[in-house]
Amino acid sequence: MIYQSLNHSSRPVDFESAVLNGIASDRGLYFPSEIRILPKKIISEIKNLSTNEIAYHSIKNFIGKSIPKKNLITIIDKTIDFEFPLVDVGDDIYSLELFHGPTLAFKDVGARFMARSLEYFNRNSNSVLTVLVATSGDTGGAVADGFYDVPGIRVIILYPKGKVSEIQKVQMTSYGKNITTIEVDGDFDDCQKFVKNAFLDEQIKSNCKLTSANSINVARWLPQMFYYFFAYKNIHKYNYPIVFSVPSGNFGNLCAGLMAKRIGLPIDKFIACTNLNDSFPRYLDSGIFDPKKTIPTISNAMDVGNPSNFPRIQKIYNNDINKLKKDILGYRFNDNQTRKIIKKVYAEFNYILDPHGAIGYMGLKKYFKSHTKSTGIFLETAHPIKFAETIEKKLKIKVEIPKSIDFSKQTVSSKLMSNYDDLKSFLLQN
Q: Which residues are catalytic?
A: 107
CA distances from 160 to 47, 48, 192, 390 (A): 42, 44, 10, 19
Number of Cβ within a 10 Å radius of residue 394:
16
Residue 148 host element (H or E): none
The residues with which 243 forms a beta bridge, in sequence order, are 269, 376
Q: How many angstroms separate the CA atoms of 27 and 8, rounded?
A: 10
Q: How many angstroms separate the CA atoms of 131 and 133, rounded?
A: 6
Residues in CB range of 351: below 8 A, 6 or more apart: 87, 89, 95, 345
Number of Cβ within a 10 Å radius of residue 24:
25
φ, ψ dihedrals at 266, nearest 5°: -75, 80
Collapsing DSSP to helix, strand or coil, 97 comes out as strand
Q: How many angstroms separate the CA atoms of 127 and 161, rounded?
A: 32
Residues in CB range of 105: below 8 A, 6 or more apart: 98, 99, 138, 141, 142, 301, 381, 382, 383, 386
CA 306 to chain centroid, in Å, comes to 15
